Structure 1
């Protein structure tokens, strides 16, 4: 089974920056990957298009998101580790509280293992993710408006 790929067209300060393409680990985290894929395609009538990255911390991650499963859904599994940069992982507020938020790591983040579900990786556009990271602050509030201008299945 081929893993699905999805894309984000990123804008910073209203200016197009380029495309980020993700490979989703649908064989390891099928529910989490499908949630993200459907939000990229807008299959349920809503999705990531126009969604901001509201939390950006240099040397850590960029965060944004929404969910198709209502308020929250359980942690699918913790098979994959946060051992390399450019992973796609679920943000949450504790066990089994996945919902509307995801993040892209920009460095290895092993302290997140067993707490956040890794469900994909960046396969193209690493330079765009680094541009997004450069808009961050240690407090997490972006210095510029970083937005998913468009998205879909690649």
Structure 2
């Protein structure tokens, strides 16, 4: 037994047998140190040399995703009063944007007019009937078909481009640009598919045209062409 005095061999324990035990502990200690060093080296070179590359790759991928998500088509509405640049919400209203781009490419909007102007509210265009001087049928024309709404999270606030309609899912070619700061009574009823990013002063010019009692402008605000 081991008493409280100096350490002495216990009965039945041979002194020579104690040395290998001490040597084994020493070897285990050395091995543990080496193993710890090896693991530390692997961790260091693995973490600090490999991970930053992975982070750069992920960062580049995220940048590419952000660039793709931020990229939206733009069009230039060329009017007799100046140009209006509009960004289209292709992701949020794909069918509406595709329809607008197709009609624009086909020249459908060329020489049409903003036939309805309400100061402090909106300007409306896109009706092929507006090409002539007969205002009686303006607001009744279209491309000859109708398609469904694409209601999204965009609120109809100043500068927003939205589809005009005669009820749910009756979209065609007519559109309007909001000039009021907000129009909550229209939210959820009209598809917002773009916003003015340049040329809001041209929209203001059109909005400020004098109008007849039926909201037809007395002066002309003509869409000469749409550039994509």
TM-score range, shorter chain: 0.7 to 0.9
Question: Is the 1:90–1:117 Cα contact (8 Å) retained in structure 2?
Answer: yes
| TM-score, scaled to structure 2 | 0.59
Give 1:72's match in structure 2, choosing from 141, 146, 150: 146
| TM-score, scaled to structure 1 | 0.86
Q: Which has the higher contact order (CA 8 A, sep 6+)?
A: 1
Distance 2:152 2:171 in 1: 13
User: Across the two proteins, how many residue pairs are aligned to each other?
Assistant: 143
Question: Is the 2:100–2:173 Cα contact (8 Å) retained in structure 1?
Answer: no
CA RMSD, aligned part only?
A: 1.6
Query: Per the alignment, do residues 95 and 136 of structure 1 end up closer, same or farther by CA in structure 2, a change over 3 Å counting?
Result: farther
Question: Considering only CA atoms, is the larger Rg found in Structure 1 or Structure 2?
Answer: 2
Runs of 4+ in 1 over 6 A off after TM superposition: none
Structure 1 spans left out of the alignment, 5+ residues: 12-16
Query: Per the alignment, do residues 128 and 118 of structure 1 end up closer, same or farther by CA in structure 2, a change over 3 Å counting?
Result: same
Structure 2 spans left out of the alignment, 5+ residues: 1-67, 128-141
Flag the structure with higher strand content.
1
Q: What is aligned with 1:55?
A: 116
Question: Is the 1:135–1:142 Cα contact (8 Å) retained in structure 2?
Answer: yes
Which shows bigger deviation, 139-148 or 113-122? 139-148
Question: Is the 1:78–1:113 Cα contact (8 Å) retained in structure 2?
Answer: no
Cα distance, 1:76 vs structure 2:
1.6
